[in-house]
Amino acid sequence: MTQTQETHPFQAEVKELLDLVIHSLYEHREIFLRELISNASDAIDKLRFESLTHPEYGSADGAKIQIGFDLDARTLSITDDGIGMNHDDLVSHLGTIARSGTRAFLSKIKQAGAATPELIGQFGVGFYASFMVAEEVVVDTLKAGETQAWRWRSRGQGEFQIEPGDRTARGTRITLHLKQPDSPEDDDPAEYLDEFKIREIVKRYSDFVAYPIQLEPKDGKDPETLNTMRPLWTRSKDSIERTEYDEFYRRTSHDWTPPREVIHFKAEGTSEYTALMFIPGARPSGLFDGTQGKSRLSLYVKRVLIMEECPELLPAWLRFVRGLVDSPDLPLNVSRETVQQNATVRAIKKRLKKRVLESLATMLAEKREEYRAFWADFGAILKEGIWYGEDEDKQVEKLCLFETTHGAEPTTLAEYVARKQPDQKQIWYLTGERRATLESSPHLEAFTKRGLEVLLFVDAIDEWLIQRLPEFEGLKLTPVDRGALELEAPSEKEAREALDREHRDMLAAIESKLGEGVKSVRFSTRLSESPAVLLNDEHAPSAHMARLMRAANQDVPDAKRILELNPDHALVKKLQTHFQADPRSEKFNEWVEWLHGQALLAEGSPLADPARFARLSTKLVLSAD
Ligand code: ADP
Ligand code: MG
């Protein structure tokens, strides 16, 4: 085959990353080795996985990662016998940035203005890290199942070359031609051409890698394995340092923020398995997408990866949990279909779910700050457990945090109940988009006056959630913007009804002016600051729900609302004066329209004609009567 060399440009983002990596990560440059070893290990993982269905790829048994160096040539090489890459793989994997984590890294660095050590700890920079120490990188590779080998080379300056290669063994060899130091004060990258240095870096970053990492044998000596290698989850919990868990998590999940919690246990008894689960420290992108609406623990059978993401191991509403289960009880050839039917898998799922919820309950009880941060990232997902009716043992509802009028600190339902007034029979709540809007809602006035706490449901899912959460510890969850008047004392009721009778004519005039817009108009005892408020019928969707449904293009009949007026408010008194002067006057009608409009605004609903409302406001303010 006489193919010549092709030159390809790097994707613009790669150029940007290369620039950053080379110029700002200098002090952390030893991580290049961690990144290359991690890729080698991923490549063997892939082979192991693929060879289950493609025996012709050869076995991954005995697969290893070798590090070689040559002081005279100033080269360092990392070789694996993993899956390898073909021509197209090279172009897309080593010419573009596919991983969203790397993109996030780029934009974070740009925001921060510099690559700080925290950022570097949080993200991996991957293959391109090799250009921190190398002036040229050469990749020789042969993909499993193929016969044509390829060579990729680049000096990290905007382009790379690809040509046919001569590698005969499956896998990849990456050769770094180390840079000369820029000036005599700079550290010479040749420091990495040293057995002790390499040992040290491998121990620090790659000890848990599941395949042997060896120095390439020289003068006939048997290669020595530098890493401990035993898969982390097979070791006893007491022997594992938190940093090892963090490193393992980072490598397997490609999430560079350390996990918030680690759940590691061995189950013995009817079925035997080991679970290692992590509650992430940050919310990855895409978690809410339909395509990722499944849980994603990996399934291993006797340390062999069977399924990278096995949705049967945890309910979808725990899909933020990462990690794996290793069970010797399942057959190696277990398929997606059989996993679904498998009783062992079902038993495992039940137990895992319980352990995750227990761990969250402990975090809530003992580490409130952390739990709040967790909740901000994943609360909306966890709540889906209630919505789907899968919270049979009522554990999820106890883990929910809600905004509350009690203060800035979000509350659990149990904490609300502990604070309730002795004769209080309801858990009061109000739904809407934003805390600030809800806090100034006229609906709250009666509750504030009576010192009653109201939960502020500001998450879009909350409206749906409460349909599955009718009560908590015997207290009914009750919206404050419905027509029911549970709060009213008998004497207040009498006074209100007397007012309604006295002003029957005016109320009727307002009703006829507003027409379709309202069901009825009456006086209120619930207002102290606001002139008017709109209430919902007991069974109609709330104003917030109606907005959500409209936003989702659903048909929502215009709910007939009840307009309540504050009899003590100066504006309402003014309305009465105008009515008494002339019930048919333009003034009276304008005041009616204006009061209705501002009641809509106060609850965050849109106005039918905002421009008209603005003109009306200006006019009424100017005439100031
Ligand atoms: P990441 O490992 O996070 O995907 P990298 O920049 O480290 O990002 O690597 C980019 C891609 O290049 C990998 O996803 C993989 O497809 C490919 N790759 C890198 N090194 C190897 C290797 N030794 N063997 C096979 N493929 C590799
Ligand atoms: Mg990588």
**CA dist., res. 111 & res. 113, Å (int):** 5
Q: How many residues comprise the chain?
A: 625
User: In b/e form, how buried is each residue of 90-116, taking b as 16+ CB within 10 angstroms?
Assistant: bbebbbebeeebbebbbebbeeeeebe
Q: Which CATH superfamily is domain 490-622 in?
A: Heat shock protein 90, C-terminal domain (1.20.120.790)
**Sequence-separated (6 or more) residues with CB below 8 Å from residue 574:** 591, 625
pLDDT of residue 411: 97
Give 401-479's CATH code, choosing from 3.40.50.11260, 3.40.50.300, 3.20.20.110, 3.30.465.10: 3.40.50.11260
**CA dist., res. 464 & res. 473, Å (int):** 20
Threshold 0.95, pTM exceeds: no
Residue whose CA lies nearest to ligand 1 atom number 7: 126
Q: Which two tokens stand for residue 529?
A: 């600051």
Give the distance (Å) from ligand 1 centre to CA of residue 39: 5
pLDDT of residue 121: 47
Residue whose CA lies nearest to ligand 1 atom number 15: 93
For 7-52, give the secondary structure using H, E and C.
EEECCHHHHHHHHHHHHHCHHHCCHHHHHHHHHHHHHHHHHHHHHH
DSSP for 82-134, please give it.
SS---HHHHHHHTTS---HHHHHHHHHHHHHSS--HHHHHH---GGGGGGGTE
Give the distance (Å) from ligand 2 centre to CA of residue 222: 29
Question: Domain coordinates of the chain in residue numbers?
Answer: 6-215, 232-370, 401-479, 490-622
Among all bound ligands, the one having the nearest atom to the CA of 139 is 1
The tally of CA atoms less than 13 A away on the side-chain side of residue 218 is 6
pLDDT tens, residue by residue, 342-395 = 889 999 999 999 999 999 999 999 999 999 999 999 999 999 999 888 888 899
pLDDT of residue 235: 92
The answer to whether 373 touches 337, Cβ cutoff 8 Å, is no
pLDDT of residue 485: 65
Q: CATH for 232-370?
A: 3.30.230.80
Tell me which residues of the chain have a pLDDT lower than 70: 1-3, 24-27, 98-105, 109, 112-125, 285-292, 304, 332-333, 483-485, 538-540, 558, 624-625
Give 6-215's CATH code, choosing from 3.30.9.10, 3.40.190.10, 3.90.1170.50, 3.30.565.10: 3.30.565.10
Which amino acid would we find at residue 95? G
C-beta of 260 in contact with ligand 1 (< 6 A) = no
Instruction: List, in sequence order, every beta strand (DSSP E) within 486-551.
Output: 518-523, 532-535
Best of 32, 36, 41, 42 for a ligand 1 pocket test (most atoms within 8 Å of beta carbon): 42
**CA dist., res. 442 & res. 325, Å (int):** 52
Give the distance (Å) from ligand 2 centre to CA of residue 190: 23
Instruction: Please choose, from the candidates 409, 265, 256, the residue with its C-alpha nearest in 3D space to the C-alpha of residue 326.
Output: 265
Q: Are strands 475-479 and 471-472 parallel, antiparallel or unpaired?
A: antiparallel
